[in-house]
Structure 1
Amino acid sequence: MSGAFDDVFKANDDYVARFRLQGLQPVAARGLALVTCMDSRIEPLDTLGLQPGDAKILRNAGARVTDDTLRTLVLAVYLLGVDRVLVLPHTRCKMASVASDDEVHDTILDTYGVDTRSLEFKTDNDQLGALKHDLERIRHHPLLPKGLPVGGAIYDVDTGRVTPVGS
């Protein structure tokens, strides 16, 4: 590692000195699973008035409901106290601003010489359509309970506002 992570390990020392989360249970205290993007402009707890331990937070590029997201939601529902799911993509998302996965693959290949075509990035420039599709994937997953409350919203990275989106 040769120092590449010294800054974060030092920051962890400071965190440990003021750590106050001991004793939290591994369940979602407020029953929420949040699927959101990995974008560092999103602070999921503050954004939704949550505290550590309130929710299970699943993050990936574009806040997409992938097979792994569904696997995790099944575990969260049956083992970790989740009884509702919110999918929260955001404005100005790179994964929603490109025409296709091919564009991302080409950019990475042209810029870095790495062929990423074995990966599916799930880009979709119809962000609202992608969100509605993902909500339906959760609602109709055979291993998730019928009637599980599933909602969608868009987070505005410029204002912090969360706007609910109809199904």
Structure 2
Amino acid sequence: MSYEGPFGDLLDANERYARDFADAGLTGQAAKGLAVVTCMDSRIDPLRLLGLEAGDAKILRNAGARVTDDVLRTLVLAVYLLGVDRVLVMPHTDCRMSKSTDEDVHRLVAEKYGVDTRSLDFHTVPDQREALLHDITRIRAYPYLPRELHVGGGVYDVHSGRLMPVEM
């Protein structure tokens, strides 16, 4: 079967994937007890770069790998319901969020597309290391997460494939 339309390529690929699907026995638990907070950048393959497989970890992605309120909410669920006992915060080099300020992004979107985004906080990262340390501290200090939760962070280099530990 071949699908048409803007998602046809994805549906075709899914048909091929489903033919040999072997992960039906996995549960929703994080088999390695890990949650990874990383960027939405498509150059990052978090499972493969950490030597993991499907079912091993919970992957939380957003622009800039920032620990937002929604990430904290999701970590609470991951810890108490899905077997997570350690969290790795992993931003990356060459990130668009580290090359702009929120004001830059607001101005660019307004000028190029005519959309006023000033009500949004994009969580841009002027100092990636400082932002990473802030986000690690935010998780550690969050009152709904257990004190014994292991939290660490490192910057993934998209050009070398190496994870550079910052605090682990």
Is 1:84 paired with 2:86?
yes
| RMSD (Å) for aligned C-alpha atoms | 1.0
Letter in 2 for 1:166: E
Give unpaired runs (5+ residues) of structure 1. Answer: none
Shift of 1:118: 1.5
Aligned mates of 1:166, 1:59 — CA distance in 2: 20
> Structure 1, residues 76-98: CA drift from partner, whole Å, max 9, x if none?
00000000000000000000111
Letter in 2 for 1:162: L
Is 1:111 paired with 2:120?
no
How does the TM-score come out when normalised to structure 2? 0.96
Shift of 1:147: 2.3
Aligned mates of 2:55, 2:111 — CA distance in 1: 43
Letter in 2 for 1:27: Q
Letter in 1 for 2:103: D
Secondary structure of the structure 1 residue equivalent to 2:64: helix
> Structure 1, residues 31-80: CA drift from partner, whole Å, max 9, x if none?
00000000000001110000100000000000000000000000000000
> Structure 1, residues 126-158: CA drift from partner, whole Å, max 9, x if none?
000000000000000000001211000000000
Q: What's the counterpart of residue 141 of structure 2?
A: 140
How does the TM-score come out when normalised to structure 1? 0.97
Structure 2 counterparts to residues 1-167 of structure 1, below 5 A: 3-98=5-100, 100-166=101-167
Number of residues of Structure 1 aligned to a counterpart in Structure 2: 165
Q: Between the two proteins, what is the percent identity of the paired residues?
A: 62
Letter in 2 for 1:140: A
Instruction: Give structure 1 regions of 4+ aligned residues with deviation exceeding 6 angstroms.
Output: none
Letter in 2 for 1:158: H
Give unpaired runs (5+ residues) of structure 2. Answer: none
